[in-house]
Amino acid sequence: MRACIRAVALPALAFVAWYSGITTAQDKYPSRPIEFVVPWGPGGGADQVARKLGQLLEAELKVSLPVINVAGATGQTGHAKLISANADGYTIEVMTGDTFALLAEPNPKIKLADFTPLGILIQQASAFFVAENSAMKTWADVEAAARTRALKVAVTGFSSPDDITVNYFAARGLKLSSVPYAKPGERYTSIVGGHADLLYEQAGDVRSLVDSKQIRPVIFFYGGKVNDFPGIPTSTSLGHNITLPQFRVVLVKAGTDPARVKLLSDAIARAAQTADFKAYLKEQYADEASFVPAQEVLPYMQRWLEEAKKVMAAIPVKK
Amino acid sequence: MIEVARHLAGGFVDLLQAANLLALGVGLVVGMLVAVLPGLTLVMGVVLALPFTYGMPVTPSIILLTAMYISGTYGGAITSILFRIPGEPMDVPLLWDGWSMAHAGEPARALGWTLFAALTGGLITATVMVTLAVPFAKVALTFDSPEYFSIVLFGFTSVVTLGGGSLANALISLFLGMLIATVGVDEIYGVDRFTLGIDMMRDGIGYLPVMVGAYGVGEVLVRLEQGFASAPMAGGGAIKTRIPSLAEAWKIRGTFARSSLVGVICGIIPGAGATIASFVAYGVEGQYGPRRRELGKGIPEGIVAPQVASTASVGGHMVPLLTLGIPGSGATAVILGAFLLHGVQPGPQIFTTQSALVYAIFASTFAAVIGMGLLGYFAIRPLVKVLFLPEAIVSVFVIMFCLVGAYSEHNNLTDLWMIVVFGVVGYLFERYRFPIAPMVLGCILGPIAETSFLTSMISYQNDWTIFFTRPVSGVVLALAAVALLLPFYSRLRRKPDLAAKTP
């Protein structure tokens, strides 16, 4: 009997040892490409940061990170893709402040509990831009015009910081209204082609349009000074308590194995410190100290959300 | 003009460098392969190629991506014509006349016409790009969402042209396609639609699984039902590539002119693109072509119109990208990404700051078009031979390519199930004589129509007259109205020729 047990047990043990060896090998993460969801169209800021980071992470993680653009609904369509994927660390997403602002709404569909942040990569001040050939040259011109006639502002989508900012001024007597263009190409055409009067955007995203003198910023929404554009006023310097800086954070679905989360967030932290990435930030007119490590992201998001909620509460008529 | 010619000559000299020529050759071959695979779209191919350009200098990078883009607008035509499976959405209109001509025993002639059309469209677009880039870009800027909507609506009217058999069935198919496209989170307000509370459904149903499933898998299921017993293509022995003679082409010069114009215009407008260009050009041919009544029965005009327009749209797309820094399509957005990664900012200043680069790109466009022609010419012969392999084996490969291509697009198994589901739908459509094309058209154009309609309404304070009072939009809508009403009018006038055809 004992011999019999031994005859079965020994090979069984050997098998278990061999099999667990195999499963560890299979568990090696990452062992296949990681899908990088961009909830905005190709060519925009979110797309650029994802492609840049993807390139740097490929060197770190030794797998490819194909970028998938799933535009629409202020980034909710793409976010839905992350949420419907498995929590295995093989789908990550870059969420922008635009989508995050939806959390300030009364019954947000996006939930903080649905995702785990891996790090904020870039923070940029947003601005209102006018076309260079517009009659309005400065913020004072815009204010004067908006008191007498309706001005259209090209934004990414409803309930985004763009839209909140527009409503903030609308509540203060300026006749501004949002027109959503989810695809960056169409949004930029609208301002250059004169279909919209103002464009809400981050300077880095439209650098080619700014450098080629097709559009110019008239006001930055920022707490400090914007070094690259010294002559342009900031919202806070004019007494407007609204900044809502654009930020882009990388997420993985909640419930992902903490070891994988750590591996990813560490790789992202290393990528953010490369000279290549720093040069990218400069090119984007972004804050040099943009990077926020994984563990500090949630408090940052909470503070941001409080500002958005405060601004929204101060807007009397909600559309 | 002499200045332009001088710069262009310099561009050709630059192009002769080994790295640039290599990029051109690789781009042409890869672009064609990507387009031939039904599940893998051209845009995805360009996206997949982007990482390879990181380590390359800027000029060959852009040449590689542009060459892929150009030859990609041709490759998908081959599978449309030979297997009745569109390689790219823009190849759907080629199913009617292209496949009909091939099925009538002249596959090499159909492919020859496509090749000639792609070559002509490409050369015209390259010429336009070089000479008229700046003024054309200015015109494109005047287009806003009402114009996008009107153009897409005109694209829908091609359903009437293409319905052939029953108009009612075509409309049912179209609306079903639009309904499928509404599933998921809506574009403007972020509302869940028809998601049945399933997370997977919030993701929506893309046009790709619908197109690949209904055409690719559906076609195989139909053949399976017949026991893979269909006779080899009639008159298939004559597989000599037949490029149309210049005299033949001259006879339909009107088609070339109309379609090139449609292609270039749709290319320049951000938000339109090769697919819309292709449908609209076919629709225009169905309205204004002298042989419009024969359209759909395998006449060269029906092959030339969509193909010329698809290829011509490429140069159109490059115009706003280079001159304004605005990407008008998925593929040009990736090319913009390549520019930015190399620290080059496209925009009006690029002609002065990077003029050597710009003219190298222009020169490579000409070279890519001609290279595509040569490649296509030599590819036709072996490709037509595939038709003589046992049907069952070809079908296995068709299914495999559909699934592999679609999987590599999103790395998502759900898409593969969708393909199978729509394969069954496609089979049932064939069986009960419903045309598939309107459904695919609805899936592709439906969301664009919806977004541009809603954006127009928001932008113009819910003033619906805006679609009629803006000149370009008004003209396009009038054309669409004519397209819709003409068939009824002609049916009233003469006894209809209802040769049933289900595209």
How does pLDDT run across A257-297, given as a tens digit for each residue?
999 999 999 999 999 999 989 988 888 888 888 899 999 99
pLDDT band at residue A78 under the 50/70/90 scheme: confident
Q: Cα separations (Å) of B139 from A184, A292, B119, B267, B269?
A: 19, 44, 26, 12, 9
Q: What percent of chain B has pLDDT over 70?
A: 89
Residue A318 has pLDDT above 50, yes or no: no
**Residues B370-418: pLDDT tens digits?**
999 888 888 777 777 776 778 788 888 888 878 877 776 665 677 888 8
Indicate the average pLDDT of chain B: 82
**Residues B303-352: pLDDT tens digits?**
999 999 998 988 888 887 887 777 767 778 778 778 877 777 777 677 77
Contact between chains at B340 and A194 (C-beta distance less than 8 A): no
Residue B187 has pLDDT above 60, yes or no: yes
| Residues 138-157 of chain B whose Cβ lies under 8 A from any Cβ of chain A | 140-145, 148
Strand-pairing partners, residue A93, are A37, A251
Q: Which of B51, B204, B333 sits opposite A55 (nearest CB)?
A: B51
The arithmetic mean of pLDDT across residues B478-491, rounded, is 78
Contact between chains at A158 and B190 (C-beta distance less than 8 A): yes
ipTM: 0.73
Contact between chains at A55 and B330 (C-beta distance less than 8 A): no
Instruction: Please name the helix (run of DSSP H) or strand (run of DSSP E) that holds residue A68, with its range, or none.
Output: strand A67-69
More confident position, B159 or A153: A153
Four-residue CA torsion sign, A41, A154, A132, A242: negative
Q: Which of B140, B148, B185 sits opposite A76 (nearest CB)?
A: B185
Distance CA A65, CA B482 (A): 48
Indicate the average pLDDT of chain A: 85
Look at residues B212, B219, B208, B158 and name the one whose alpha carbon lies nearest to residue B181.
B208
User: What would the two tokens of residue B367 be?
Assistant: 């070279």
User: What would the two tokens of residue B270 be?
Assistant: 């951000």
Contact between chains at B320 and A189 (C-beta distance less than 8 A): yes
Task: Find, in chain B, the residue whose alpha carbon is nearest to that of A110.
Answer: B190
The pLDDT, as a whole number, for residue A140 is 95
Contact between chains at A214 and B141 (C-beta distance less than 8 A): no
Residue B157 CA to its chain's centroid (Å): 17
Q: Which of A48, A180, A185 sits opposite B188 (nearest CB)?
A: A180
**Residues A18-39: pLDDT tens digits?**
544 444 445 688 888 999 999 8
The pLDDT, as a whole number, for residue A21 is 44
CATH 1.10.150.20 fits A35-124+245-314, yes or no: no
Contact between chains at A208 and B451 (C-beta distance less than 8 A): no
Q: Based on the number of CB atoms within 10 Å of its own CB, is B398 exposed (0-12), middle (13-18) or buried (19 or more)? A: buried
**If DSSP codes are grouped into helix, strand and coil, which group holds residue A216?**
strand
**Residues A209-231: pLDDT tens digits?**
888 888 999 999 988 778 889 88
- Asked if the domains at A35-124+245-314 and A126-238 fall in one CATH topology, the answer is yes
- Chain A hits for B184, Cβ within 8 Å: 77, 80
Q: What percent of chain A has pLDDT over 90?
A: 41
Residue A174 CA to its chain's centroid (Å): 28
For residue A33, the one-letter residue type is P
| Residues 400-419 of chain B whose Cβ lies under 8 A from any Cβ of chain A | 410-411
What residue ranges do the domains of chain A occupy?
35-124+245-314, 126-238
The pLDDT, as a whole number, for residue B208 is 79
- Chain B hits for A189, Cβ within 8 Å: 140-141, 143-144, 270, 320, 324, 326
- Chain B hits for A84, Cβ within 8 Å: 199-200, 202-203
Q: Which of B188, B326, B337 sits opposite A48 (nearest CB)?
A: B337
| CATH class of the structural domain A126-238 | alpha beta
| Residue B277 contacts A where some CB pair is shorter than 8 Å | no
Contact between chains at B328 and A185 (C-beta distance less than 8 A): yes
**Residues B222-251: pLDDT tens digits?**
888 887 766 555 444 555 567 888 888 888
Q: Which of B145, B327, B455 sits opposite A42 (nearest CB)?
A: B327
Distance CA B430, CA B221 (A): 10
Q: What is the 3-state secondary structure (H, E, C) of B242-266?
A: CCCCHHHHHHCHHHHHHHHHHHHHH
**If DSSP codes are grouped into helix, strand and coil, which group holds residue B498?**
coil
* Lowest-confidence segment of B134-138, B213-217, B467-471 by average pLDDT: B134-138
Task: Find, in chain B, the residue whose alpha carbon is nearest to that of A90.
Answer: B411
Q: What percent of chain A has pLDDT over 70?
A: 88
**Residues B26-60: pLDDT tens digits?**
999 888 888 877 767 777 778 777 767 767 888 89
User: What would the two tokens of residue A16 be?
Assistant: 């278990």
Cβ partners under 8 Å of residue A118, min gap 6: A92, A249, A250, A251, A252, A261, A264, A265, A268, A294, A297
Q: Which of A51, A76, A212 sits opposite B348 (nearest CB)?
A: A212
Look at residues B383, B309, B203 and name the one whose alpha carbon lies nearest to residue A37.
B203
pLDDT band at residue B10 under the 50/70/90 scheme: confident
More confident position, A108 or A152: A152
- Chain B hits for A109, Cβ within 8 Å: 190, 192
